[in-house]
Structure formats: C-alpha cells, structure tokens
Amino acid sequence: MGMTITEKILAAHSDKETVEPGEFIDARVDRLMVHDGGWSTLGVFEQIGADRVWDRDRLVLCPDHSIPPNNISSANQIKDERDFARKHKITHFIEMGRGGIAHAVMVEEGLILPGELGIATDSHTCTYGGVGAFSAGTGSTDAAAVMALGTIWLKVPPSIKFVYHGRLPDGVYGKDLILYTIGQIGVDGARYQAMEFTGEAITALPMSGRFTMANMAIEAGAKNGIVPPDATTIGYANARADRSFTPYQSDPDARYAAVYEWDVSKLRPQVAFPFSPGNVRPIDDAGEVTIDQAFLGSCTNGWVDDLRVAANLLKGKKVNPNVRLLVIPATQKVYGEAMREGLLDILLEAGGAICTPNCGPCPGRHMGILGDNERCISTSNRNFVGRMGPRSSEVYLASPAVVAASAIKGRLASPEEVI
C-alpha cells in the first residue's frame, strides 16, 4: 500500500520505511519558528533546564503580532526574544523592518522548503504546506522541547484528498476555494487530518493562492494542509533555497480517509459570515450588509498578488466615505514590490491607510481594532466572536477582490459591481 505526501514526509523524518495514520512517531524538525505570540516558549525552555538550543541556525524568532509594540507588555515580550537571540547567537532573529508576518517570511525567505518539516507557535503554521512541506502549529511546551531537542512527538494524521476540477472563473481566487471547501465540510470536517489539495484549479493557482489554501486548513480542524509540489513550486523554492531539498508526491495507491471532488468552473466569490469560517455563502446571497471597515492583509492574503487584485479594482475609484480601508502588506519585500509597482499609490489615492507589515487587526492586537457593533470585511482567516474587537463586532471573510469591491460600495459587494 502506498503513502500520501504527508506520510512520506513524516516517515522520512522519523527514519521509517513507512508510517500509518494513528501511529505515534518522534520526528526530526527542520525548522522551528517562535513569534511574539509564542513568547512564553522562552520561559518554558528555561524551566525544563535547557541551557542551549539544539541548532541556532534552525530556530527562527520573528515577532509579528505586535510590531511596532502597542503597549509595554508587548515591547517587553519582543525584548525578551531579542535578548534570547543575542544570548544564544540565533542566526535568524528577524527584527521589525526586516521581515513581516512570520508565516509569509518563512516561505518568502526559503526558511522552509518542499519535503521539510516545520513547527511553529501558531496555528496557521500549516501555511508552509503551500510549498509541499509538512507544517503544524504547537503550544509553548512542545515548542520548548523542540527548541532543546530538535524533535517532536507526533501522531500521523489520516489524509483527505480534495480534487478541484476545472478552471476558476475570473474574479474567483484561492481564498474562494478554501472558503467553499470549509463551508462544505465544516470547521471540524478535517479534524486532525491532512488536507491534500489537488486538481487543475490548484495547478493553475500562483504560490500566493496555494499559501492561502494551506493557511486556512486549520479552520477545518486539520493538522496540516499541503499542496503536492509541481514545477511552479520547485521554481519558487529554487529561487530561495540555500540547501538541497527533497519534494514528495503521493503514491497512486495511497490511502485516504475521504476524497472530495468538485467542479469549480462556475464557482462564485464566497463570503464567510459571522461567527465561523464555515458559515459560508456565495456573494450573490449576501444580502444588504453594510460595513465600517475593510481589511486587506494578514498571513492569508497579504501577498503582492492580493494587493494587485485590490488595486486593479480600486484604481481611479474612492473608498466609500463611510468605510475605512486598512492595507497591511505581509512582508517588507511585499511592501517594497507593491511600492515599486505603484500599487500603494493606487490604494492611497483611493483612501486606503497603509500600515507596516504585521498581524495587526487579524488577532485583535492593534492597527485596526473594531468598535462596538462595527462590521469588517476582511481577507484574514478567522471571524470568531470578538476576534477583531468587542464581542458585538462582526467580521466577514472574503477574497481581496470582494474586500476591495465592498470598500467601494460600503457594503458586501461582488467585484462585478465595480468593474
């Protein structure tokens, strides 16, 4: 019996010929990332008596949740990471102004590559599956153990295969695909399973769309999301790699817990309504929902491709006077590229506020918190109660195209309405 791509990566990292779903393994970690949200990992590391990290080159410290720091507590958390990096001579401490949102930095800088195993102190670590890596989030205790030992105890997840047939219509993107998927299977439809994304529609996605798909696998309860690497992936990785890597593919006779197949050639833009990423409906069924804020950014959709989509719709137009548009590029490199292309000029002239790369309003930290009873249309990944502000506020999830159209109209709107 063959193995899935996820099983092959885990087998290779536990020195086994084969692994099976449900099996417990000790796996070697290629890269551990800790951001300021996982700051407590440093304290746990000291509590367990560790005096040195297992590999100073394989540990990445990348503050992103509260940069620039929005209060004294946040400033001290980042200072602790900075001091830890100096003490242990960590190669990759990514200072504010030199990185951005950690998950985007990890793939953009080639810190995680196809076939590798990445762990981080954040649930959206599954983003790295976009390059064909196994990646998963963990808590501070497990992260501290990885920091000391370089290995992690894992249960091999069963895999679910998602096959997307057909070509996506104009104005429909990877964000719409993953929202549709979560809407179909539910927020626990892939609980502790690997979501493997395949099919013509996936092959046609740029890397940014693949990262979006993998990023939101956790919103269906998945252990990891993964896109089998192809020529697009390998080209992306080769342009960033400073080491060799081994891409894997699922065997034709690999075992899957389930297989879903959809023809997405007529898929419409999707919107996740409060208060769940699974509460999804087509934009045509959105009804009259006014908004106060539009947010373009996050580790899910803060790529330059996403800014291009929004800028194309906003060019020569203005944001509705009752709406504020926040734009946060995912990384400094994305910010620079968008600036050189003139995308930021377009967004500024439309009435957008451009902020330094950070997580900002997505986890409800700063740079765009909602007020009482306010509504936000967002390209981020979660819309739980109180996610972006008070419990009375509401967050709607959508693609950059829907966010831009809605910012113009002042309500949930389809891209066709503003073209």
Tokens of 384: 């739980």
pLDDT of residue 38: 82
Alpha helix stretches (DSSP H) within 239-303:
298-301
pLDDT of residue 84: 94
The rounded distance, in Å, linking the Cα atoms of 126 and 29 is 14
The rounded distance, in Å, linking the Cα atoms of 131 and 136 is 14
Assess whether the previous peptide bond of 295 is cis (omega < 30° from 0).
no
Mean per-residue pLDDT pooled into runs of 10, the chain (419 residues)? 96 97 98 90 92 96 92 92 95 94 97 98 96 96 96 97 97 98 97 98 98 98 98 98 97 97 98 97 96 97 98 98 98 98 98 95 90 97 93 97 98 95
3-state secondary structure of 357: coil
Q: Are 101 and 359 in contact (CB under 8 A)?
A: yes
pLDDT of residue 37: 82
The answer to whether the 5-262 and 270-417 domains have the same CATH topology is yes
CATH tag for 5-262 (out of 3.40.50.1000, 3.30.499.10, 3.40.50.2000, 3.40.50.1360): 3.30.499.10
Calculate the dihedral angle through the C-alpha atoms of 11, 17, 22, 23, rounding to the nearest 10 degrees: -90
pLDDT of residue 286: 95
User: What superfamily in CATH does domain 270-417 come from?
Assistant: Aconitase, domain 3 (3.30.499.10)
| Boundaries of every domain in the chain | 5-262, 270-417
pLDDT of residue 271: 98
